[in-house]
Amino acid sequence: MDIKTLEDRLTGEMSRMRELYRAAFSDSEAERLARETKKQNRTVALLVLLVLVIAVLSSIPETNEREADGLDLVRPSAGDSPKTIETEVSAEYDGYMVRQRAQLRILPKEPTEEEAEECLKGLEQRLPEMILWSNTSLSNVRYDLFLPAIDE
């Protein structure tokens, strides 16, 4: 379902609800319910906007770069730490504007099978030297060995 269809359905439902409220409750009760409905509309608009922002960020291409509104978003390479950016998102729905500051976490790209294999080969070659740390050889150990552990 596209955003326009969703917006049309929400507008129609809200109009029907307003009419039912007006018919069933006094004016003050109807106004209170109308205020609650408007608040719910703003919340729905913000959620829809948040979903759109997440969809845009998740579609950042594997080439690592994308230009959006004059801001270069660079997705971290495989093995790098995630990146967090702050932005302001806004949405307008039924005449109401909602603005919200948000922190977006951009995860690094997943390594390809070839990249992962290349990384493991590099580690395999460097591992004996890493384990020795400050020692000259395994037959002459004078300092602690470095034995890395994998956190699971």
pLDDT tens, residue by residue, 79-116: 788 888 888 877 777 778 888 888 888 888 888 889 88
87 located within any domain: yes
Residues 118 and 99 in one domain: no
- Rounded to two decimals, what is the model's pTM? 0.36
- Tell me what the pLDDT averaged over the chain comes to: 76
Q: Which residues of 31-48 are buried (b: 16+ CB within 10 A; e: fewer)?
A: eebeeebeeebbebbbeb
Domain count, the chain: 2
Residue 45 and residue 92 in contact, taking contact as beta carbons nearer than 8 Å:
yes
Answer with the residue of higher pLDDT: 109 or 27.
Answer: 109
Residues 126 and 96 in one domain: no
Residue 7 structural domain: 3-106
11 located within any domain: yes
Residues 93 and 39 in one domain: yes
pLDDT at position 14: 74
